Chains A and B, each alone.
Chain A
Amino acid sequence: MLAFSSASADGASSTGELVPFSSEARATAVFPLHHGLKPPISRLSISWARGNSLRVSFFRKPSGDDSDGDEFGGKVLEVRLSGGDGDMSDAQFRRIAYGSVSPFALLQSRRNSAVSLSKISSPYHVEWWEYVMEYSKDINSLLSDPKSLTSPAIEDPKAVLQKAEEPICLKAAWDVMEIFYADKQSQSWLPERLVDWLAAYNGLLSSTQATIHSQLISFQKELVTLQVIEDSPKYWEVLSAALAVGWLDVVVKMLRLHGSYQLDQIGNRETENGLVEAVAVLISKMPRLRPELQAGTLGECHRAKPDFIKAWEKWRAHITKLDCSAYWVRCDHDQTRKGLRNMLQIMLGNTNSLCTATCHWMELYIAHFLYIRPFTVGLESMYSLARKCMQLKPMTISHRLIQLLLGIIGDNTEVVLAECSRAFGPWMVAHAIELLASGSDQAETLLREEHYNLGGISIEELHRLVYAQVLSSDALTWQIAPIYLTSCIKQGMGLLEILLSKQPVQDVQILLKIAGVYHWKHGRKGSGVFWLQQARDEVRLNRIAQQLFDFVGQSISDESFKQWEGLIELLGSESKTAGGLEFLHKYRDFKKSLKQVNDGKTTDAAQQAVESLISLMKNPSTPQQFWLPILYDSLKLLSCQERPLLNVSETNLLLNKLQELSMAKLRPDFIEADLPPQALGSVRLALATNLGRAIVEE
């Protein structure tokens, strides 16, 4: 149930990490508990506090004499057990937690409506992928660090790497899962997506090993002191490295720093410069199998495979031609010649050159996609290629992102889940499961089947419960927990009840509100209103009252009418809503009497209905927008065959109202009622007829 982070006193050791609910046996993680008391400790006592906090009481045995001095008799410590991403601050976590609620809730409600609408077993249709992608993008946008650095106004010509926002690991992980599971549209150019991914997040991998990113950073520092750039072997190393992973714009920019471009040099080093420029041009025209590139990045995009293959072969032919050119002999500068030719080898997909140029297997993997096998598709072949690269360039310590990626390419949902949990924490698992489930049918089955050992719930539900418990650990986030719990069909309510019962009495109003909203949303509208009234939640009660107004002028079923009626009763007329609910009460009475007329029960009914009608229309609390609907409802009354039911003054009143209405229509803020076009005409006609007959009667 808990994911522990390795944030123990011994720092960032990876040995203290646990994988909850895995089948692997791992050694127990041991954590120290510093109580600061002088031994001996005679007794311990434990108690769980909110969510995942454990409180431990330590009792010292009093020594009887005064040798203890100022020693305390004991201490109580609180240990927070919600682990996960130890890199994140509490504030950051809270921001992400709050922001994730809406996308999550939206996706759940969409699923619920999809399930209820569908008559076939599978509720998913094409739109569903769009919903998941929208969800993924919403969450992704949360994970961008708000403190991102903006690019400087004046571009430093020597700045090889643009300063970009410092990404967080969570975003990198989410991105890679989005690429593989949610983004159905870019499945055909998956390798290029990985090229982009590595470009964005290679810096993160620098924490555990050397990367091209770290090489570039250190070279950039040296750049200021270098007199003759092209003499530095590091320059050529970094060029090859950046080329190998497809950072073409960096490569070209760096190439243009070559001394042969300088105005005072260019006269003597024409050939050399020509060769450098030729390579730069070739690089900038590299064909890429992808629909588009970001502005400023180099290469030529091809969507369709046949186009790409043609361009690719042409491009390779150019490179070979350059490689065989006679000009190399006339290039005086050794390092330039060697460096450039090595770069050509990389572009031609020479495995040795690629191996030398890259730092770890992931970079070599990307290089394979760019220069050796640009049309790799299918997870199986991707996985075997990954294994091959790992053998050629093994990583000593594997970064958690790499572990995750391997799990994804290996098509192993359990590994992916375990890695998410271990390395990224309960938030990640609870939210990423949606992505995983949309990845494949097998994944969906695995995540949604029920396990007896878990008490009959699915893995999906389990991780939501875990996350809700994490949220409950903090006074500032516990209110979000109910939203996740309401999506846990089997055990959510049980945990919610317990969560609510452990809240201190001062929070009672919130509890009542939560109860009210919960009941309302689960179809128990009466209970919902009752709890909201206990909570004195005016805002929501007003909102509900407004909803009830929607019924006016509609023809609704008996069932709905009963419910509507009941709610009006509950809300009472004291509610300080727009116009007061007095109108709704009168309207309810009117509708009831109309119904009696329609049922043809008593002759009195008609008279009662008329009285109701007049009372309604006279009442100032009746909103104008409902006048016509009410009158249209009463058409039958107004066109009574036997005798006119309204007397002269009453009919005149109604006619005046109609007149007022016509005037009001001219105003810009008038709300047109949803009635058939001849409604007004029919009412006017009926009233006029009635008037005529009433005058005759009098």
Chain B
Amino acid sequence: MAKSLVTLEKGTVCSAWNYCGQRLATGSGDGTLAVFDSQDPASSSSFTRTSKSRLHEDGIVKVVWVPSEYGDAVACICTEGNVSLWEEVKEDAQPLQWKLCKSFKSNSAKVLDIQFGISLRSLKMVAAYSDGHVKVYELLDCLELKNWQLQAEFQNVIESVFTFSKALCLSASISWNPQGGESQESSFVLGFNSDTPLLNSSKVWEFDPAHQRWLPVAELALPGDKGDQVYTVAWAPNIGRPYEVIAVATHKGISIWHLGLDPDLDGRLSVEKVALLSSHKGEVWQMEWDMSGMTLATTGSDGVVRLWQSNLNGAWMEKAAFEPTS
């Protein structure tokens, strides 16, 4: 039932597949980026390592691919909390190699998570920091990954009067609406795992072109749960539903939220919590939606991979669990 695709080297700590599942980028504790490619696109059964480069001294904790229309590039978050952007380029007579395009250095805070999104034809990168700040960077030239501009900086709070300078965040999770792109503004959802309750709950952020700023249009937490630390969030692809589906994981379990599409007079979107899934023991590490947005795959510290689906009556249930064995 399960087929082995790639064997990873010692010290590998993270991996990410590109948009079509043909390339795998892995990061190691010693700062090495290794890329594996499929030899046979039709079967994608054999992957071999096509490059291995020691990017820096610092270990890589997360690798994120840049959307394919901007090139073959990855962003790496390292243990010290900086983000660097690397692109695979072919220059002059030299072979294909990974080159540094941009380094986002931050003095005090560490980057906890980054995600790329395409909004109104421009590439944006959202970065969440350990001091509770959120920065949105915009790519200025669509053919060059070097030039980025800081478009906005804010904190994950509904009322902007609150600012927290001494927040200590352990992790953050960002998920863009997969739909966004060419002709419209895209939104993303963001949650924190921090010691400051107001920062934690997942909020949906939308860009307001009139005032040139990002506004929180929804909060995905029930009144009693607003301070709960958020482990991870995932926005489901929408193939034609009249509402959006977003999954939010906290220590209480995984909540499935429905987000309305039409804003009310205040510009807010309606939210409804439709399920609480609580099979995972321990922390939920990652949640991924399948291409139709109907099946959610989750994994966590209990080491089990679970699949969830809703039935005809709208009730969400665990459909399968995969337990790793050696």
Q: Secondary structure at chain B's binding surface: helix, strand, loop or mixed?
A: strand
13 CB-based A-B contacts, threshold 8 Å: A1-B295, A4-B320, A31-B322, A45-B286, A48-B288, A56-B2, A77-B2, A81-B320, A451-B312, A472-B291, A475-B44, A490-B240, A491-B239
Given contacts A29-B320, A30-B322, A45-B286, 13 further A-B contacts (CB under 8 A): A2-B320, A33-B323, A41-B324, A48-B288, A54-B307, A55-B5, A56-B305, A62-B10, A62-B29, A74-B9, A455-B240, A455-B242, A457-B240
A438 to B61, CA, bound (A): 56
Which residue of A20, A75, A504 is within 8 Å of B4 (Cβ)? A75
A10 to B303, CA, bound (A): 21
Chain B residues with CB under 8 Å of A451's CB are: 312
Check B8 against A44 for contact (C-beta < 8 Å): no
Chain B residues with CB under 8 Å of A68's CB are: 10
Q: A45-B299, A495-B291 are in contact. Are A454 and B312 (CB under 8 A)?
A: yes
Number of residue pairs A-B, CB distance < 8 angstroms: 241
Check A493 against B240 for contact (C-beta < 8 Å): yes
B3-32 residues at the A interface, CB under 8 angstroms: 3-17, 19-22, 24, 26, 28-29
B319 within 8 A of A: yes
Which residue of B10, B20, B28 is within 8 Å of A71 (Cβ)? B10
A36 within 8 A of B: yes
Check A455 against B241 for contact (C-beta < 8 Å): yes
- With both beta carbons as reference points, the residue of chain B lying nearest to A30 in the complex is identified as B321
Check A51 against B291 for contact (C-beta < 8 Å): yes
Chain A residues with CB under 8 Å of B43's CB are: 475
A9 within 8 A of B: yes
Check A76 against B240 for contact (C-beta < 8 Å): no
B240 to chain A minimum Cβ distance, whole angstroms, is: 3
A605 to B15, CA, bound (A): 72
A476-517 residues at the B interface, CB under 8 angstroms: 476, 490-495, 498-499, 501-507
B317 within 8 A of A: yes
Chain B residues with CB under 8 Å of A62's CB are: 10-11, 29
Check B285 against A25 for contact (C-beta < 8 Å): no
Q: Secondary structure at chain A's binding surface: helix, strand, loop or mixed?
A: mixed
A42 to B20, CA, bound (A): 27
Identify the 6 closest CB pairs spanning chains A and B, nearest first: A494-B239, A455-B241, A491-B240, A74-B8, A453-B314, A73-B10
Residue total for B at the interface (Cβ-Cβ under 8 A): 72
Chain B residues with CB under 8 Å of A71's CB are: 10
A50 within 8 A of B: yes
A32 to B299, CA, bound (A): 14
Chain B residues with CB under 8 Å of A495's CB are: 239, 291-292
Q: A44-B285, A490-B240 are in contact. Are A38 and B7 (CB under 8 A)?
A: no
Residues of A within 8 A of B (CB): 1-2, 4, 7-9, 18, 20-23, 25, 28-39, 41-52, 54-60, 62, 68, 71-81, 451-457, 459, 465, 469, 472, 475-476, 490-495, 498-499, 501-507
Scoring B residues 215 to 246 as 1 if CB is less than 8 Å from chain A, else 0, what string do you get?
00000000000000000000001111111000
- With both beta carbons as reference points, the residue of chain B lying nearest to A495 in the complex is identified as B239
Check A73 against B323 for contact (C-beta < 8 Å): no
Check A31 against B291 for contact (C-beta < 8 Å): no
A296 to B22, CA, bound (A): 58
Scoring B residues 260 to 296 as 1 if CB is less than 8 Å from chain A, else 0, what string do you get?
0000000000000000000100000110111110110
A33 to B320, CA, bound (A): 12
Check B320 against A23 for contact (C-beta < 8 Å): no
Check A77 against B318 for contact (C-beta < 8 Å): no
Chain A residues with CB under 8 Å of B12's CB are: 59, 73-74
Check A29 against B319 for contact (C-beta < 8 Å): yes
B143 within 8 A of A: no
Chain B residues with CB under 8 Å of A507's CB are: 41
- With both beta carbons as reference points, the residue of chain A lying nearest to B30 in the complex is identified as A62
